[in-house]
Amino acid sequence: MSSTRTGTLSLANTVGKDPGILVIGLAETTEGPVLVGLPEELGKPFAKAMGRSVEDVAVSLGASAKLGKTALVSAPGSLRLVVVGLGPIDVTPEQVRRAAGAAVRLVAGLEGRSPQAVTISLDTTEPEIIKGAAEGALLGSYSYRPAGAGVGEITLVSANRKAEARQAVELATIVADAVVAARDWVNTPANLLYPETFAEQARALAKDAKVACEVLDEKALEKEGCGGILAVGGGSARKPRLVKLSYAPRGARFHLGLVGKGITFDTGGLNLKPADGMYTMKSDMAGAAAVLAATVAIAKLGLKVRVTTYASMAENMPSSTAYRPSDVLTMFGGKTVENGNSDAEGRLVMADALVKCSQDGPDLILDVATLTGACVVALGDRVAGLMAREDETADLVLDAAEAAGELFWQLPIPEETLGKLESKVADLKSTADRNGGALSAAAFLSTFVPETTPWAHLDIAGPAFNDKAAYDYTPAGGTGMAVRTLIALAHAQAS
């Protein structure tokens, strides 16, 4: 079904004689915009032939130093340029990531019979800037259903001839591959990606990286007493799965636990969603996609961090076997939960996995989920929510997110929030009132992680799926949100 297209990237020290489409930058300085990365041997002939500089022609065609603004310039002969805005001249990795992504995405949409070759020349020399440019280029070249010729070979130009430059590109390639894997899963229609097929694809990806994989089917889940996953998946003919990945390298001193929500389609169950709210619900497994893809990338990078990952997979459907509001469920570990709303299913499948993950004794647990519409209302569709019991834990995640170039904002879990989840018939209720819905969801999840275990909850409901136009290196559809942050966090703990 998928016809995903992503370019391949290599490193060069100079612009070659046949660069294909050459990407250069336009940066803002105190003296006005300046071109970045244009070789003198190309700039002079252009100015002589056109009677104007590349910069003047580009600006006349709409180019500016505004970050991500692009313009296609036809140069004398067969050379074509894309001039992309870099923002302020003292660029950050994220600036370069966004600029390279925007430029390559423009090229990917051009008409043609064969994929375009692209050379990116943005004066990248520092390893983090090289990595940012490489990631942006690869992610910007991604298309699930290509509309144009697409991008084939990408050459990143850097004067840095040290091993650190090659290592930065290798790191960027593995990270981008992981993001693309998550995007592909999110974009796959739910009639093709459901718990059984999702689990098997996760197994195949793990095998390629020599990561141990265990899949619990519905019979094993019943034997284990995973009442949350079984209840949510009980209304569908496609039975639930729980996938466990284990990566345990020698010398690892830190144990990271990851838990992901994998609702392959969410109708809302008996609390049926309105039609408009259901259309994008193939993306409700983005949290599971993120933790699975990130785990495999961490293993491929050989990071000295032990990782134990759980992905709870179910399809939430209405039927005669569906769970009901007011049902009392017994979760893995024995805690009872009164179901308040069958469309608040994510926290139920996560609860079983959080208890399982806690029993493995990690030093830190992160859960990732497209959990609440309330988080989207609070933070919009480009910023994810972060909730933790301790600020120290939140700071670890925020630092990793900043390094990765992903946007998270910390929200509180007020002490009184847990009181809203009191139940007269069970240990707790799954939902509270509408006020602060993202916070009460996090409070619910927190009860399934021991207080002695550092834990953070990442609600990626807004930025996990882009139902608007593509921008920078972010495509329409699945974005791969949180993958880069998880890898960056593992990097930080491995160093």
Q: What string of DSSP letters covers 321-363?
A: TS--TT-EEE-TTS-EEE---TT--HHHHHHHHHHHHHHT--S
Whether residue 361 is found in the same domain as residue 224: yes
Q: Which domain holds residue 228?
A: 193-494
Identify whether residues 390 and 255 lie together within a single domain. Answer: yes
User: How would you classify the pairing of strands 241-247 and 212-216?
Assistant: antiparallel
- Quick one: pLDDT at residue 400? 98
pLDDT bin (cut points 50, 70, 90) of residue 1 is very low
Question: In the structure, what pLDDT confidence band is assigned to residue 78 with cuts at 50, 70 and 90?
Answer: confident
**CA distance readout (Å), 473 to 114, 303, 406, 418, 489:** 21, 26, 12, 39, 21
Asked if the structure places residue 174 within a domain, the reply is no
Same domain, 63 and 150: yes
78 lies in the same domain as 221:
no
Give the separation between CA 183 and CA 195, rounded to whole angstroms.
17
* Residue range 161-211, pLDDT digits in tens: 999 999 999 999 999 999 999 999 999 999 999 999 999 999 999 998 989
Residue 237 lies in a domain: yes
Residues 161 and 307 in one domain: no
- 347 counts as catalytic: yes
- Asked if the structure places residue 2 within a domain, the reply is no
Which of 66, 166, 273, 335 is flagged as catalytic? 273
pTM over 0.95: yes
In a domain, 451, yes or no: yes
Find the mean pLDDT for residues 244-270: 98
Q: State the total domains in the chain.
A: 2
pLDDT tens by residue, 7-42: 899 999 999 988 999 999 999 999 989 999 999 988
Segment 308-318 mean pLDDT:
98
Residue 350 token pair: 């996560």
Query: In the prediction, which pLDDT does 477 show?
Result: 97
Residue 405 pLDDT > 60, yes or no? yes
Looking at the predicted structure, is the pLDDT value of residue 60 above 60? Answer: yes
Could you confirm whether 273 is annotated as catalytic? yes
Q: Is the residue at 53 inside a domain?
A: yes
Higher pLDDT, 114 or 414: 414
Strands (E), 349-476: 364-369, 384-388, 408-410, 428-429, 455-459, 465-466
Q: pLDDT digit string (tens) for 419-467? A: 999 999 999 999 999 999 999 999 999 999 999 999 999 999 999 999 9
Q: Are residues 212 and 313 in the same domain?
A: yes
Assign 287 a pLDDT band (cuts: 50, 70, 90): very high
Q: Which of 98, 261, 306, 347 is catalytic?
A: 347
Query: What b/e sequence results for 144-166 when a residue is b if at least 16 CB atoms lie within 10 Å of its CB, and e otherwise?
Result: bebebbbbbebbbbbebeeeebb
Q: Are residues 161 and 275 in the same domain?
A: no
- The verdict on residue 177 lying in a domain is no
State percent of the chain over pLDDT 70: 99
The pLDDT assigned to 3 comes to 53
CATH number at residue 450: 3.40.630.10
List the CATH number of the domain containing 34.
3.40.220.10
Position 343 pLDDT exceeds 60:
yes
